[in-house]
Structure 1
Amino acid sequence: MRELRARWSVLAEGIDAATPAGRDRAVDALRAFAILGVVLGHWLVTALTTANGGLSNTSPLAYTGRLAPVSWVFQTLAVFFLVGGHVAARGYASARERGDSYRTWVGERLGRLFRPVAAVLVLWTAAAGGMLAGGVAVTTVRTLVTLVLSPLWFLLVFAGLTAATPLVARVSPLWPLAVVAGVDLWRFGLGGPEWAGWVNVVAGWLVPYTLGAAWSRGAFARRGPALLLLAAGAAATAALILWGGYPASMVGVPGAAVSNLNPPTLAAVAFGLAQCGLALLLREPLARAMRRPGAWAKVALLNLSAMTVFLWHQTAMMTVTALGLLAPGDLPGLHTVPDSLLWIPARLLWLPVFAAALALCWAAFRTYERGGRPEPQGAARIVAGSGRRAAAPVEEITHA
């Protein structure tokens, strides 16, 4: 154990030393926390039960409304888009200064996003076919495949906004916010069609994305605008939940008439504004924390495989759940219906097991995120690499 700590200390010191003094480590920390929020959120509020014969998807939020605040902590997608807009706008400006073409810039960014997707699709196509051929119920296969593929909508929207950065980087967040409000008024107030809500899939996430682009231009150099975002977003969210009829949960709840997330509602966007304000206010404390080599090394290494973690965390959870079926009877917190608060502590005990399964997925598939390139040798190269494309250490990490 002492030897492992010594090796980690050497690695962390090397990563810290190889990082340029001007790097904004708080940006990487925010993105890492956003990824962890999504992963832990899914592991805590997704329950695969055997109550209906096969595996079916439900959530403790469907049984205990008092757990809605859990979704406020772990629904961190707005922060992800905030950081994405910030990094994309800054990166595109730098690319123009270097004389790089738009095609080169967007190709590098989207390549990092979609290379690891192919591995997920190939494996789950084979797995789904094998399960159906082996007699697994269609409803079970559909449940599993849906959970695996559901994160991909996020990547499609994120990729679309990334590709449109030159067009949307200077758009005021008030415009997409107005679109979201108008669509919700049409849907919920004037009896408009449900399909109209899918306009908000783009408009809703464009709000934090354009806030991130504004951040790259120095719009939040002072704390005042961030405080205003936090206060206004929190007040609007509370009003919409208490008097506007929006659900309190900021994630989808199976069986609920309205989801705040699929598609995003005005309540989800207002909540995202509050999250973005809080994230911007935390920049300085995070920057101070990231001066510690150990903390910074963890953030940097997580970001190196951010897409792998994001794409495979549901597979890790489902693999553990499926293997648990080999045990006699339903395992508490894994297969049981989450209709009691006792399910929560039981579920928490499974999180380290999910994490271990995710580590195996990471070891098997992380090379796809790097486009098949071997891992850099040595701590310094893990962060800094060599040559023109790696001149800004960890810069590509936040592009994914």
Structure 2
Amino acid sequence: MPAEATTVTRPAAQSLTHRFRTAARHIEKHTPEHRDRAVDGLRALALLAVPLGHWLLGGFTVRGGGALHNASPLSALGFLAPLSWVLQLLGIFFLVGGYSSVLSLRRSQERGGTTGQWLRGRLVRLGRPVLGVTAVWAVLLPVLALLGVPGATLRTAAVLVVQPLWFVGIYACVTALTPYCARAARRWGAWTALPLMGAVAVVDVLRYGPYAEQVPSWTGLLNLLPGWLFAYQLGVCWGEGRLRRRGALVLLAGGTVLFAVLVLVFGYPASMVGVPGETRTNAHPPSLLVLALAAVQCGAAVLLRDRIARVLRRPALWAPVVVVNLSAMTILCWHQTAMLAAAVPASRAGGTVAGLIGAPDSPGWVLARLAWLPVFAGVLVALGSVTRRFETSWRGTGRAARALAGALAAAFALYAVAVV
């Protein structure tokens, strides 16, 4: 019997290997010579860190009639905080976003396009997948309620679906500022990022300093734009040729020192993501620690660019990068749904499931969650095979269908605002 299984399995494995190699060669053949592989590789790395971070650092507990509630292993396993330094790669994402946007804008203008036309195209590409996922969830919520899923579980699901979508709104805002970022970069170079860091530092002093009790709670929201524009502006400078190795070294060294000082001297939370029960958070809105980490990431990315480009000359490594980049918004919008697709049915069965449902408070939970990652990834691939059409043009879709999608998305947005 083992010999027969080996005989059957080996041709199947060889067939999969052959298909992958054929696809990789096809992608390599159709990749333009001028394609910046390093930037695409960095974008793919930052993209994959989003679902990996949410899947590793997000757990579920069951309370009150089998209702799912969010939980985090960071609450009990504080030693995992450094893991968030690796998984929080939004600095790199905004860096390559700024780099790509300024080059895209330049090409559009060279073809005779206007800034408005360029911006409209970028925003439509961002908006279609968001409209798709929110419209689908607007239908799913009442269906799940009719099937007996508790309201608390639906609220948890809404929170998780919305969680990565805030990024799209911020990214759209900084994208709209690209022409102004480019002008500033051409005139003053990478120094243009320094006032953004200074603005975040001032707000942090206000909300964490000696007079914090007298400062309104919404003051931290002032960090949203400068906090996320910081790495984007560095990317624009990079694209304009105003950020080179010397500047990258300054970012890497200075960011490392600032990061250490903020954590060890000024008591900033070590985790880059929010921890339930903690009064302070670094990410929402971004604190100065987020910018320090972004500086380190951006400096390292610029310094490693040529080496990354050389590595990605290998077709077997380049092919996955292309696939991830082509599915960027699908990954961002649907990865939480993939995790919920496993957790919600399991919660209905009752009891706990190691690594999926149950208090994430032990190393055993971490090991079990690692075993769930391939399951989440498989579900995401299956979802993406259907939902990736939201990333393509909707020109063939009727006006009534587009209006319905908009109405459903608006209904989900109202629900999310009420419960998040």
Give the alignment's TM-score, normalised by structure 2.
0.86
Instruction: Answer 1 or 2: which has greater helix percent.
Output: 2
Question: What is the Cα deviation at residue 327 of structure 1?
Answer: 4.5
- 2:208: which partner in 1? 188
Question: What is the Cα deviation at residue 343 of structure 1?
Answer: 0.9
Question: What is the Cα deviation at residue 219 of structure 1?
Answer: 2.3
C-alpha distance in 2, partners of 1:51/1:366?
35
Question: What is the Cα deviation at residue 272 of structure 1?
Answer: 1.1
C-alpha distance in 2, partners of 1:207/1:139?
37
C-alpha distance in 2, partners of 1:176/1:244?
20
CA contact (8 A) 1:61 1:68 kept: yes
Residue deviations 1:234-261, cap 9 Å, x none?
1111110111121000011122101100
- 2:167: which partner in 1? 154
CA contact (8 A) 1:85 1:169 kept: no
Report the identity percentage.
45
CA RMSD of aligned residues (A): 1.6
Return the letter of the residue paired with 2:220: G
Kindly tell me: are residues 255 and 195 of structure 1, through their superposed partners in 2, closer, same or farther at Cα, counting changes over 3 Å? same
CA contact (8 A) 2:62 2:347 kept: no
Aligned ranges 1:304-383 → 2 under 5 Å: 304-327=326-349, 329-372=351-394
- 2:196: which partner in 1? 176
C-alpha distance in 2, partners of 1:173/1:52?
48
1:48 aligns with 2:60: yes
Return the letter of the residue paired with 2:182: A
- SS at structure 1 position matched to 2:61: strand
Flag structure 2 segments of 5+ consecutive residues without an equivalent.
Answer: 1-12, 185-191, 397-420
Return the letter of the residue paired with 1:16: E
Instruction: Name which one, 1 or 2, has greater alpha-carbon Rg.
Output: 2
Aligned counterpart in structure 2 of residue 278 of structure 1, from 300, 322, 332? 300
- SS at structure 2 position matched to 1:342: helix
Return the letter of the residue paired with 1:173: A
Flag structure 1 segments of 5+ consecutive residues without an equivalent.
Answer: 375-400
Give the alignment's TM-score, normalised by structure 1.
0.90
C-alpha distance in 1, partners of 2:23/2:369?
33
CA contact (8 A) 1:170 1:214 kept: no
- 2:91: which partner in 1? 78
- 1:209: which partner in 2? 232
Residue deviations 1:24-68, cap 9 Å, x none?
110000000001111100000000111454100010001111110
CA contact (8 A) 2:60 2:68 kept: yes
Question: What is the Cα deviation at residue 86 of structure 1?
Answer: 0.5
Residue deviations 1:154-210, cap 9 Å, x none?
000101111121122344101211110111111111322220111111110110000
Aligned ranges 1:82-101 → 2 under 5 Å: 82-101=95-114
Question: What is the Cα deviation at residue 323 of structure 1?
Answer: 2.2
C-alpha distance in 1, partners of 2:146/2:224?
36
- SS at structure 2 position matched to 1:239: helix
C-alpha distance in 1, partners of 2:353/2:183?
52
Question: Which shows bigger deviation, 52-61 or 142-151?
Answer: 52-61
Question: What is the Cα deviation at residue 302 of structure 1?
Answer: 1.0
C-alpha distance in 2, partners of 1:55/1:326?
10
Aligned counterpart in structure 2 of residue 242 of structure 1, from 233, 246, 264? 264
CA contact (8 A) 2:182 2:240 kept: no
Return the letter of the residue paired with 1:218: G
Aligned counterpart in structure 2 of residue 220 of structure 1, from 228, 240, 243? 243
Residue deviations 1:365-389, cap 9 Å, x none?
0011012589xxxxxxxxxxxxxxx
C-alpha distance in 2, partners of 1:252/1:205?
17
C-alpha distance in 2, partners of 1:325/1:138?
13
How many matched pairs? Answer: 373
CA contact (8 A) 1:333 1:343 kept: yes
- 2:142: which partner in 1? 129
CA contact (8 A) 1:307 1:369 kept: yes
